[in-house]
């Protein structure tokens, strides 16, 4: 199999639902992240979002995981080909989730807004311009980071809220999302009452199953020979362990 590059990249549309119910607006969910490695809660958040939207005006027609570009420069970030392969393995058995390699194949680091705009271009070509809604899927901790100085570009956050929207997985007992958006931390980011109104209108909060699963802890388990069974899909575990006999393992095992 040839190496995937920008030149031979094709948008993964094979699992998209093409026949949309009458009266429903098709909706695509997009999650951006390191996926280092992709664990079961990365997958579960898509299912929880789909449960929350059942019976709404939307019909979820697809879900996309977009592994971050290697120029994100996080010290513990596994090489993109490994993260791509692991994420593809993680969604292999899903009827509606796929991995999109576009972000990671770019020559430079890609902002989340740019990933969403790429997604809009591809989805519009399939469903028609503006016919399918696209929402960023994330946890409440990532949403809170929107208000952290120097992390996000305020104008990009405003565009994400106004032109796309966000589906937020909220942990039990955490601060309500509406209260978070109305708080002082977000005033600087949103800047105007109109932007706040759009943010509130285009943000859906849904409860998330409480599970303390850490990608850092999972990497340490691999490195020290401990089990990751039921934290990852078997396909991801098989991929990681299959690289140990090669010169390019995903996570290097520590020697005693």
List 166's β-bridge partners, or say none.
136, 203
Render pLDDT for 95-135 as a digit per residue (tens, 0 to 9). 999 999 999 999 999 999 999 999 999 999 999 999 999 99
pLDDT of residue 210: 58
Eight-state DSSP code of residue 232: B
User: What CA–CA distances, in Å, run from 238 to 30, 40, 72, 80, 229?
Assistant: 26, 15, 26, 18, 11
Low-confidence ranges of the chain (pLDDT < 50): 1
The label of the residue with tokens 């005033």 reads 187
State residue 3's pLDDT score. 84
User: Is the peptide bond preceding residue 218 cis, with omega within 30 degrees of 0?
Assistant: no
What is the distance, to the nearest Å, from the Cα of residue 194 to the centroid of all Cα atoms in its chain?
27
Measured CA to CA, the distance from residue 89 to residue 66 in angstroms comes to 14
Give CA–CA dist 32/26, Å, rounded.
20
């Amino acid at each position: 199999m040839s190496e995937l590059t920008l030149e031979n990249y094709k948008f993964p549309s094979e699992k998209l639902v093409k026949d949309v119910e009458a009266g429903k607006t098709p909706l695509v969910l997009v999650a951006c992240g390191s996926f280092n490695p992709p664990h079961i809660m990365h997958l579960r958040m898509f299912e929880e979002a789909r449960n929350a939207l059942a019976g709404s005006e939307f019909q979820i027609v697809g879900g996309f995981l977009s592994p971050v570009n290697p120029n994100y420069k996080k010290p513990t970030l596994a090489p993109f080909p490994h993260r791509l392969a692991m994420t593809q393995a993680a969604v292999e058995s899903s009827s509606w989730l796929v991995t999109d390699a576009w972000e990671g194949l770019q020559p430079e680091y890609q902002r989340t807004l740019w990933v969403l705009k790429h997604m809009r271009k591809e989805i519009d070509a399939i469903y028609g311009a503006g016919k399918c809604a696209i929402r960023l899927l994330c946890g409440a901790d990532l949403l809170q980071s929107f208000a952290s100085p120097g992390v996000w570009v305020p104008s990009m956050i405003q565009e994400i809220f106004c032109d796309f929207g966000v589906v937020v997985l909220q942990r039990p007992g955490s601060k309500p999302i509406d209260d978070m958006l109305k708080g002082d931390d977000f005033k600087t980011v949103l800047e105007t009452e109109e932007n706040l109104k759009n943010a509130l209108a285009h943000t859906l909060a849904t409860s998330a199953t409480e599970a303390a699963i850490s990608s850092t802890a999972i990497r340490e388990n691999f490195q020290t020979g401990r089990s990751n069974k039921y934290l990852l899909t078997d396909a991801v575990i098989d991929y990681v362990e299959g690289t140990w006999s090669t010169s390019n393992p995903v996570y290097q095992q520590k020697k005693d």
